[in-house]
């Protein structure tokens, strides 16, 4: 593991410099170029640098492509580099300009689904990679609209439309007959107060309000309680999550052979594989950004790609996962900061009622 790697301070300096040069240029880095860059300071002569590079090569951190005199970082080297970025000495924040750009991009977003869809676009734009946003199963059942129709005495048709476009309808057998005005009032209350909320959140909040506000909304809450108790707001366990993917064309700009490109695009188009990938690597309970180098271990077509992802939360609940999938030459620190910032932005945009 990269975190268990033990290298000297000089080796760390040379490796970090090689990685950052490779990220900037995409070209193998030669010892002569490093010698010019260091300018023989700190005793880093050309001979010293060659010896250090040979040591890093033996440790599996550098690779020599074809007959080039230069070296490129391996996946293990990038893992080591990411571990170093996590340290306090390298930690940085987004610039005010970048934060403003991100926040401006979310102006007008009114639901969790809109937030996630916009996130995939913003992350693709910032990273020049693929922006991915995966709604949790609960958020895939967020309320767009609910309507009640009175069929006969004690029988009501409930039609629930979710923000992901799913329409669920069920016939409710009530213990207490509700009039058409009562049904219309209950539907209006739910639509005005809970648009964009997940079904589970609505049920939990209704339970709290029914207990706390029963005296104030006695007739209304009694009607809502009866409708919900009979299954008006019942989650559909079979409804899978929604995933938004944007920026696949960004990967076409790099130099990549046709067969690898075919495999990569095929992997990205298989959205179920992407869902499995995000669920496998990004834990909804974690707080920090997860960086995974070497995605080909999970999906062979994703050779030389990195995943940078984090859970987006709404209070104590999971909103979903936001992530970037990009070549290993990505600007790590800025992308990590952007993913982290957007993941936390959801909680600020959608503050639940107090």
144 and 126 in a single domain? The answer is no
Structure tokens at 275: 């869902």
> At 325, is the secondary structure helix, strand, or coil?
strand
In a domain, residue 85? The reply is no
219 and 100 in a single domain? The answer is no
Q: Domains in the chain: how many in total?
A: 3
- The pLDDT tens digits along the chain (354 residues) read 455 567 888 899 999 999 999 999 888 999 888 988 887 666 788 888 999 999 999 999 999 887 667 899 998 999 999 988 865 444 468 889 999 999 999 998 877 778 888 999 999 999 888 999 988 765 556 788 888 888 888 888 888 887 766 677 888 888 888 888 888 888 888 888 888 787 777 877 887 777 766 555 566 777 777 777 766 766 554 455 678 888 887 777 655 656 666 777 777 777 777 888 888 888 877 777 899 998 877 777 777 889 999 998 877 677 889 999 988 888 999 999 999 999 988 878 876 544
**Which candidate, 44, 124, 60, 73, places its Cα nearest to that of 308?**
124
CATH number at residue 183: 3.30.390
Percent helix, percent strand, percent coil in the chain, to nearest 5: 50, 20, 30
167 and 315 in a single domain? The answer is no
* Domain ranges, residue 336: 96-136+241-349
Q: Model pTM greater than 0.85?
A: no
Q: Check: CB of residue 310 under 8 Å from CB of residue 91.
A: no
Residue 331 neighbours by CB under 8 Å, 6+ apart:
23, 127
152 and 217 in a single domain? The answer is yes
CATH number at residue 7: 1.10.10.10
186 and 245 in a single domain? The answer is no
> At 317, is the secondary structure helix, strand, or coil?
strand
In a domain, residue 265? The reply is yes
Domain limit, last residue, from 43, 74, 105: 74
Q: Check: CB of residue 71 under 8 Å from CB of residue 63.
A: yes
Residue 61 main-chain phi, psi, to 5 deg: -100, -20
In a domain, residue 86? The reply is no
186 and 255 in a single domain? The answer is no
10 and 152 in a single domain? The answer is no
* pLDDT in the model for residue 62: 93
> In which residue are the tokens 């080909």 written?
296
With vertex at residue 175, the alpha carbon angle to CA 169 and CA 180, rounded to the nearest 5 degrees, is: 60
In a domain, residue 38? The reply is yes
296 and 278 in a single domain? The answer is yes
State the Cα–Cα distance between residues 120 and 244, nearest whole angstrom. 6
State the Cα–Cα distance between residues 16 and 90, nearest whole angstrom. 12
Q: How far is CA 176 from CA 151, 155, 163, 187, in A?
A: 14, 10, 30, 17
* pLDDT in the model for residue 160: 86
269 and 289 in a single domain? The answer is yes
């Amino acid at each position: 593991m990269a975190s268990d790697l033990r290298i000297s301070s000089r080796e760390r300096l040379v490796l970090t410099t090689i990685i950052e040069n490779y990220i900037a240029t995409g070209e193998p880095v030669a010892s002569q170029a490093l010698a010019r860059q260091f300018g023989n300071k700190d005793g880093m002569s050309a001979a010293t640098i060659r010896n250090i590079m040979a040591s890093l090569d033996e440790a599996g951190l550098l690779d020599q492509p074809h007959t080039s005199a230069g070296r490129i970082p391996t996946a293990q080297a990038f893992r080591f580099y990411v571990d170093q970025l996590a340290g306090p000495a390298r930690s940085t924040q987004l610039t005010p300009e970048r934060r403003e750009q991100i926040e401006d991009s979310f102006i007008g977003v009114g639901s969790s689904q809109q937030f996630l869809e916009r996130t995939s676009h913003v992350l693709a734009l910032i990273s020049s990679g693929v922006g991915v946003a995966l709604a949790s199963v609960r958020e895939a059942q967020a309320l767009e609209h609910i309507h009640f129709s009175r069929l006969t005495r004690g029988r009501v048709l409930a039609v629930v439309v979710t923000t992901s476009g799913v329409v669920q309808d069920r016939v409710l057998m009530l213990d207490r007959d509700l009039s058409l005005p009562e049904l219309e009032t209950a539907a209006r209350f739910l639509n005005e107060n809970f648009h964009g909320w997940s079904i589970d959140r609505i049920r939990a909040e209704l339970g709290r309000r029914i207990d706390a506000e029963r005296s104030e909304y006695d007739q209304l809450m009694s009607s809502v309680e009866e409708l919900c108790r009979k299954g008006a707001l019942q989650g559909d366990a079979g409804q899978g999550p929604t995933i938004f993917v944007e920026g696949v064309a960004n990967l076409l700009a790099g130099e990549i052979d046709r067969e690898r490109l075919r495999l990569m695009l095929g992997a990205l188009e298989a959205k179920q594989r992407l869902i499995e990938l995000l669920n496998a690597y990004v834990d909804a309970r974690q707080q920090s950004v997860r960086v995974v180098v070497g995605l080909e271990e999970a999906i062979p077509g994703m050779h030389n790609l990195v995943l940078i992802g984090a859970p987006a939360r709404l209070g104590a609940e999971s909103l979903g996962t936001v992530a970037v999938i990009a070549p290993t030459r990505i600007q790590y620190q800025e992308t990590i900061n952007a993913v982290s910032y957007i993941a936390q932005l959801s909680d600020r945009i959608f503050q639940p009622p107090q």
